[in-house]
Amino acid sequence: MNNNNSIIKIAKETIEAESQAILNLSNLVDSDFAQAVELIYKSKGRVIITGIGKSAIIASKIVASLNSTGTPAVFMHAADAIHGDLGLILKEDVVICISKSGNTPEIKVLVPLIKRVNNKMIAITGNKDSFLGQHADYILNAYVEKEVCPNNLAPTTSTTAQLVIGDALTVCLLELRGFTSNDFAKFHPGGALGKKLYLRVQDISSVNNKPKVEASTHIKDVIIEITEKMLGVTAVVENNKIIGIITDGDLRRMLTKAENFENLTAKDIMGTNPKRIEASAMAIDALEIMEANEISQILVEDNGEYAGVVHLHDLIKEGII
């Protein structure tokens, strides 16, 4: 077997093995999980999540997921906690400790300190009978039969299981809070994801040129308008109401068909049923209309009045595509 085939085989076996382990987690979800979610949901404090080694990395990711979906969370490294960072934990906070074995030296030192100040503690562990499991108020069972590592040593399947438990916890809390896409946008204002959730058509069209002509406008002036406004299109309006559209493509088709341009006006070549969108609509909706109709521009209306143009290039520039 050549190297390529061997690599592909190992990769597939790894994915399949971890998939089976993750699927089995659904059989381990019990009343402790539900009560832990309720505890966090009703808490007036934050969620402090701690771990050591690879579990600490998973803890950081779960913290990020909770923060971005409306549940305030803070990461506390288990080793740092016993050297001063324990002061992060406030009276109303709920603590989540993540450990595969539940018996690491740091966890054995940390757990009694947490219990001493009476904070509720949730364990994410693969060993319910461990030191952590015995002292936790609630256990989120992340048991896996073995690591996918051929030596059964490197944290692989176990950390994936911890991550999935964290995702399940996050989604449960998100649902309980009625967290919507609008809420999500508030926490993710930057980048393409945020823009898809909050950027509106008017945010783009209001800074673009606003090409427009009337039905009686001579074709020469139509060409000048399209050229100067640099959007490859112009609206044809009457009392600032859209009655048609002329694109670069319409001009090219005109050149192949017409023999005399002297008497041509906008009305002679305009399309009479242009795609349009409300200024208050989301920019992502404009993209969907463009893609569905294979067009590069869409006219914008505001309460029935012509309000501008959005070009496909605008959406690319904003990172929507």
Tell which wins on pLDDT, 157 or 3: 157
d(Cα 300, Cα 78) in Å, to the nearest integer? Answer: 55
Tell which wins on pLDDT, 286 or 320: 286
- In this predicted structure, the answer to whether residue 210 has a pLDDT above a threshold of 80 is yes
- Predicted local distance difference test score (pLDDT) of residue 72: 93
The string of DSSP letters for 112-156 reads HHHHHTT--EEEEES-TTSHHHHH-SEEEE---SS-SSTTS-SSS
77 is in an annotated binding site: yes
Residues near 181 by Cβ (< 8 Å), separated by ≥ 6? 197
Q: Is 125 in contact with 36 (CB distance < 8 Å)?
A: no
Among 190, 261, 183, 185, smallest CA distance to 221 is for: 261
CATH number of 201-317: 3.10.580.10
- Torsion sign across C-alpha atoms 132, 138, 143, 149: negative
For the chain, give the mean pLDDT.
90
CB count within 10 Å of CB 101 equals 15
Question: What superfamily would CATH give domain 3-179?
Answer: Glucose-6-phosphate isomerase like protein; domain 1 (3.40.50.10490)
- In this predicted structure, the answer to whether residue 68 has a pLDDT above a threshold of 90 is no
How does pLDDT run across 124-141, given as a tens digit for each residue?
Answer: 999 999 999 999 999 999
DSSP character for 212? Answer: E
Q: In the chain, what are the domain boundaries? A: 3-179, 201-317
Q: Is 256 in contact with 291 (CB distance < 8 Å)?
A: no
Q: Is 48 in contact with 55 (CB distance < 8 Å)?
A: no
